[in-house]
């Protein structure tokens, strides 16, 4: 069994599990990267303006490594994830020229994953057990399209409505739909949502990420939604909107 050998105070692992295309990397930047007390890698430089449809988010330190760790964790009794999380804290200390005791100033660690890494099955319960082994708190989040428009946003990249619906029915923890708020341009509502998870969101960083992403994605989304409206309506009406 894993143990807390680093001793830098109890942390909270925020695990974001999402289907590709549902704006998980964007949400990780606004909710995790913009949080003063949340530790993550890869997207902390959120003031670097992105110029492509696919945003890069924060993780530990990237999806390739996290995927490998989680795949091993799902099928191995050894404390792989427990030791990995604490080693990543040490990596953060090294990369940022900090002292180990400076980690006491951080309350959360952010990690993101996809259900298709585990044969489309959620990994939440196993991760929860591993995190509790080292005495940390655990907060799982999933991103689930809840409107015709946010479903269309997700389908632009990949997936099928049936796949999204199947995953939706497996989620027994908190799920949110930030895409719907982005499409409706409800900035303050989205800020409040992010603040529900982390109450130390830097508004300047949040606004930069929000504006940058809407500037890039909304023209693409509107063109796609107009061009494929009949098909998207069929996806919603014939499958996704049926419980």
In a domain, 187, yes or no: yes
Any domain includes 184: yes
138-172 tens-digit pLDDT: 999 999 999 999 999 999 987 688 888 889 999 99
Domain presence at residue 157: no
State the distance between the two ends of the chain, measured CA to CA, in whole angstroms: 40
CA angle centred on 158, ends 154 and 159, rounded to 5°: 85
* Domain count of the fold of the chain: 1
- Look at residue 172 in the predicted model and tell me its pLDDT: 94
CA torsion 213→37→94→130, rounded to 10°?
-100
Local confidence band at 47 (pLDDT 50, 70, 90 cut-offs): very low
pLDDT tens, position by position, 68-111: 999 999 989 999 999 999 999 999 999 889 999 999 999 999 99
Query: Sorting pLDDT into bands at 50, 70 and 90, what band is 132?
Result: very high
Structural domain includes residue 178? yes
**Look-up: residue for tokens 């799982």?**
140
**pLDDT category, 55, cuts 50, 70, 90?**
low
Query: What six digits make up the tokens of 43?
Result: 């997207």
In a domain, 239, yes or no: no
Residues 6+ apart with CB under 8 A from 195: 201
pTM greater than the 0.75 cutoff: yes
Domain that includes residue 54, residue range: 12-147+174-215
């Amino acid at each position: 069994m894993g143990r807390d050998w680093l001793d830098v105070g109890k942390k909270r692992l925020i695990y974001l599990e999402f289907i590709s295309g549902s704006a998980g990397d964007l949400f990780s930047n606004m909710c995790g990267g913009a949080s003063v007390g949340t530790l993550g890698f890869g997207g902390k430089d959120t003031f670097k303006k992105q110029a492509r449809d696919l945003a890069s988010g924060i993780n530990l330190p990237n999806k390739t490594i996290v995927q490998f760790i989680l795949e091993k964790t799902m099928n191995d009794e050894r404390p792989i994830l427990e030791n990995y999380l604490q080693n990543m804290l040490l990596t953060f200390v090294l990369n940022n020229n900090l002292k180990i005791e400076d980690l006491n100033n951080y309350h959360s660690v952010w990690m993101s994953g996809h259900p298709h890494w585990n044969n489309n099955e959620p990994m939440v319960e196993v991760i929860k057990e591993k995190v509790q082994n080292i005495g940390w708190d655990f907060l799982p989040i999933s991103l689930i399209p809840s409107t015709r428009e946010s479903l269309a946003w997700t389908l632009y990249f990949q997936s099928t409505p049936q796949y999204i619906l199947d995953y939706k029915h497996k989620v027994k923890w908190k799920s949110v739909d930030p895409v719907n708020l982005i499409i409706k341009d409800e900035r303050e509502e989205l800020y409040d949502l992010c603040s529900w998870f982390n109450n130390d969101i830097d508004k300047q960083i949040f606004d930069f990420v929000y504006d940058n992403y809407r500037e890039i994605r909304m023209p693409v989304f509107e063109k796609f939604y107009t061009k494929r409206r009949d098909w998207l309506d069929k996806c919603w009406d014939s499958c996704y909107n049926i419980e």
